[in-house]
Amino acid sequence: MSYNIEQSNSGYLSLNAAGLAEGTNAATFKTTNTLAYTSNGVFKSYASTDNLTFSTGHTALGNSQACLFAVWVTAGGAISTTQGPIVAAGDPCPVPGQVTAGTTLIGLIKVTTSSSATFTPGTTDLGAAGVTDVYSDCMDMPGSAQ
């Protein structure tokens, strides 16, 4: 909860929905709308962009697992992702941490695998058989598991 207060008091907020969705190329995601956001209280804009990739260093999901990936943007328009804890499919997913100071949350990607599928960020396509992806545009980080 304190993270939400810190985000809004520090001036790092998304002001409209970026329209997170699965990207055109394999293993990518995109924003379908131009995002208006603040970075340290300064208004910024991020144009809709296709074929965005996950940051390196994320942990793969095994069979029947789920987790949230947070999508972040810097003042300069660089995109990065952080990964929350991996839980059993069907359990609430704890929210991920912030990648670095000075980034604004765009939204969350929840990935769930079936009993016969796995997911490796940056390698497995979000539309692969047995992989369910759900996108949430966010103003700031939700205060509880999703």
Q: Is 51 left (phi over 0), alpha (psi -120 to 50) or beta?
A: left
What would the pLDDT profile of 41-61 be if each residue is shown by its tens digit? 999 999 999 999 999 999 999
Beta-sheet strands, E only, within the chain: 20-22, 29-31, 35-39, 42-46, 49-52, 65-74, 79-83, 87-88, 103-113, 131-137
91-116: per-residue pLDDT in tens? Answer: 999 999 887 789 999 999 999 999 99
Q: By C-alpha distance, which of 136, 97, 85 is closest to 2?
A: 97
Asked whether the predicted pLDDT for residue 122 surpasses 60, the reply is yes
- This prediction's pTM: 0.92
pLDDT value of residue 9: 56
Q: How far apart are CA 23 and CA 89, in angstroms?
A: 23
